């Protein structure tokens, strides 16, 4: 039987507010356990939550970016369950009236554009962390994370493969960073995903029973977990079994998922509107104000890059995949001029990207800044050096040996373009290869490349290739 995969994703995006969603405690990651938890975060008797207006603005920003409806009135609700890292015995979340509903996000997979529906996005507080190692028979609780603002983004079950799921997540990841509402650090849990996966016979219009795999914190894990879950479900059904609705955990060591709790064990969360918080009212003028603070979004930027810099869709897509990369590229072009935009793009996506990758650096930490890279591009553009020599210059720049001009000067890499100087070198090359000259003149055209190579060798690669070609043709055919 042919199976169709149905995937819906719930993504938890940690908002990069200064303080927590309902208290004044700081949100910075990595502090000593329980040093960033105030009375409100600890759930002490008598404390009350006060909503952080920045968290609301960030959620609205996201909603506007995915073309969603912003609720004129949204409500916080309490979601109850007992767990030691949940101090109040309930999580303040949103249930019936979320702040964002009915948005869409376009993804590209195999050159095809597909629209994924976003059912809703709601604000909620994060729980603390339970630490099960290093406490003997007990567990440790760190409440620094308790009360950190999250937006939970719930997709429609529109996703049909692990590859689509990853494309959706990458797009979302890029978007929240563009919006500067999330630092996107997946290792620290700032952006994490639960995957709802089910399968059904191809052509069926009812959904199969789904499982939910929790807390996937890398694109690779999402892909592996979904593919594992698809195979597992197909195996279960094809061997006559039934998929059980349950929550599963992904084991990053084995690449497999395993059952955590079944629906029967699931909590009755007993949601009800939180009486400590007033409904959040967002007016048209609030929305206009927030819209005015929105940056150019990835899709719009990509289209502009194609238009303004005459780049291919592909190049524009790569360069706009993150806001920082796009900004870097535009800084380079500011120095080189739009006429060199394609050359600049090649260098940003080529040697620069490769060096960053090799050292696992972000563009922000690049050892060659935009101005320096532009300096190199300009020396190629004005024929001071060839593209090939430029690669060596770039390596030197990356190693901190100075800017392009200094390195070209110090290493004597300036390209030889003077026809007289080149002419003398070529004459020597021709003179010292009489046999080849004879064969060439006898009709063996392919030997032209041999002479070019000899010329480059003689100049240690500094000869201007175009000039070498022109002069060689004159001399050989004379």
- Asked if 310 touches other proteins (CB under 8 A), the answer is no
SS3 43: coil
- Asked if 50 touches other proteins (CB under 8 A), the answer is yes
Residue that has been written with the tokens 């009212």 in this structure: 281
Q: Residue 22 or 394: which CB sits closer to other proteins? A: 22
Binding test (CB under 8 A) with other proteins, winner from 10, 29, 33, 43: 43
Q: Residue 220 or 270: which CB sits closer to other proteins? A: 270
What end-to-end distance do the CA atoms of the chain give, in Å? 72
Binding test (CB under 8 A) with other proteins, winner from 1, 2, 30, 46: 46
Pairing of the two strands 73-74 and 280-281: antiparallel
Count residues binding other proteins (CB under 8 A). Answer: 28
- Nearest distance from C-beta of residue 88 to other proteins, angstroms: 5
| Own/partner long-range contacts of 164-167 (Cβ < 8 Å, ≥24 apart) | 164/7, 164/107, 164/109, 164/114, 164/116, 165/7, 165/9, 165/195, 165/222, 165/223, 165/226, 166/219, 166/222, 166/223, 167/107, 167/108, 167/109
- Nearest distance from C-beta of residue 47 to other proteins, angstroms: 7
- Asked if 78 touches other proteins (CB under 8 A), the answer is yes
SS3 70: strand
What residues numbered 175-214 form the site for other proteins, per CB under 8 A? none
What residues numbered 423-452 form the site for other proteins, per CB under 8 A? none
- Nearest distance from C-beta of residue 69 to other proteins, angstroms: 24
SS3 149: strand
What residues numbered 146-175 form the site for other proteins, per CB under 8 A? none
Binding test (CB under 8 A) with other proteins, winner from 18, 53, 67, 89: 89
- Asked if 47 touches other proteins (CB under 8 A), the answer is yes
- Nearest distance from C-beta of residue 165 to other proteins, angstroms: 30
Residue 175 in contact with residue 58, Cβ under 8 Å?
A: no
- Asked if 88 touches other proteins (CB under 8 A), the answer is yes
- Nearest distance from C-beta of residue 257 to other proteins, angstroms: 24
DSSP secondary structure of 99-142? SEEEEEEEEEETTEEEEEEEEEEEEEE---EEE-SSSTTS-EEE
103 burial level (CB within 10 Å; 0-12, 13-18, 19+) = buried
Residue 103 in contact with residue 67, Cβ under 8 Å?
A: yes
- Asked if 45 touches other proteins (CB under 8 A), the answer is yes
Q: Residue 275 or 434: which CB sits closer to other proteins? A: 275
- Asked if 260 touches other proteins (CB under 8 A), the answer is no
Encode 82-94: b = buried (16+ Cβ within 10 Å), e = exposed. eeebbbbebbbbb
- Asked if 44 touches other proteins (CB under 8 A), the answer is yes
Backbone angles phi, psi at 258, to 5 degrees: -140, 155
- Nearest distance from C-beta of residue 46 to other proteins, angstroms: 4
Which helix (H) or strand (E) segment is 259 a member of? strand 256-262
SS3 283: coil
Binding test (CB under 8 A) with other proteins, winner from 2, 28, 30, 82: 82
The contact pattern for other proteins, residues 265-284, with x = CB under 8 A and - = no contact, is: ---x-xxx--xxxx------
List residues near other proteins by CB under 8 A. 39, 42-51, 78, 80, 82, 84, 87-90, 141, 268, 270-272, 275-278
């Amino acid at each position: 039987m042919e199976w169709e995969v149905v995937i819906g994703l719930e993504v938890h995006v940690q908002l990069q507010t200064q303080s927590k969603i309902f208290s004044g405690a700081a949100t910075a990651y990595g502090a000593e356990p329980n040093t960033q938890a105030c009375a409100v975060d600890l759930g002490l008797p008598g404390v009350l939550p006060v909503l952080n207006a920045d968290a609301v603005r960030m959620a609205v920003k996201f909603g506007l970016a995915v073309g969603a409806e912003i609720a004129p009135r949204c409500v916080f609700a309490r979601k109850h369950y007992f767990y030691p890292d949940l101090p109040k015995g309930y999580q303040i979340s949103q249930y019936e009236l979320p702040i964002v509903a009915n948005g869409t996000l376009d993804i590209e997979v195999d050159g095809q554009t597909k629209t994924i529906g976003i059912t809703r996005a709601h604000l909620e507080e994060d729980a603390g962390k339970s630490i099960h190692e290093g406490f003997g028979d007990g567990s440790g609780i760190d409440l620094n994370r308790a009360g950190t603002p999250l937006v939970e983004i719930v997709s429609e079950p529109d996703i049909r493969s692990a590859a689509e799921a990853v494309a959706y997540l990458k797009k979302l990841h890029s978007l929240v960073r563009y919006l500067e509402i999330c630092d996107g650090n997946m290792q620290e849990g700032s952006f994490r995903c639960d995957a709802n996966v089910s399968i059904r016979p191809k052509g069926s219009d009812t959904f199969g029973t789904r499982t939910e795999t929790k807390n996937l914190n890398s694109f690779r894990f999402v892909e592996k977990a979904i593919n594992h879950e698809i195979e597992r479900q197909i195996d279960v059904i094809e061997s006559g079994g039934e998929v059980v609705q349950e929550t599963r955990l992904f084991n990053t060591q084995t690449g497999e998922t395993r059952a955590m709790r079944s629906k029967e064990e699931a909590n009755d969360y007993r949601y009800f509107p939180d009486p400590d918080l007033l409904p959040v009212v967002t007016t048209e003028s609030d929305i206009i104000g927030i819209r005015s603070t929105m940056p150019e979004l990835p899709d719009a930027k990509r289209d502009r890059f194609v238009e303004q810099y005459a780049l291919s869709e592909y190049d524009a897509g790569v360069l706009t995949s993150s806001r920082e990369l796009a900004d870097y590229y535009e800084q380079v072009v500011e120095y080189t001029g739009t006429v060199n935009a394609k050359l600049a793009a090649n260098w940003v996506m080529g040697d620069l990207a490769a060096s960053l990758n090799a050292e696992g650096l972000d563009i922000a930490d690049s050892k060659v800044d935009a101005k320096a890279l532009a300096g190199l591009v300009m020396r190629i553009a004005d024929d001071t050096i060839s593209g090939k020599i430029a690669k060596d210059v770039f390596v030197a720049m990356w190693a901190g040996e100075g800017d392009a001009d200094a390195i070209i000067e110090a290493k004597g890499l300036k390209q030889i373009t003077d026809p007289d100087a080149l002419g003398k070198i070529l004459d020597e090359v021709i003179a010292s290869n009489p046999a080849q000259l004879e064969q060439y003149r006898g009709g063996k055209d392919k030997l032209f490349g041999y002479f070019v190579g000899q010329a480059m060798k003689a100049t240690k690669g500094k000869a201007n290739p175009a000039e070498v070609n022109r002069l060689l043709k004159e001399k050989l055919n004379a």
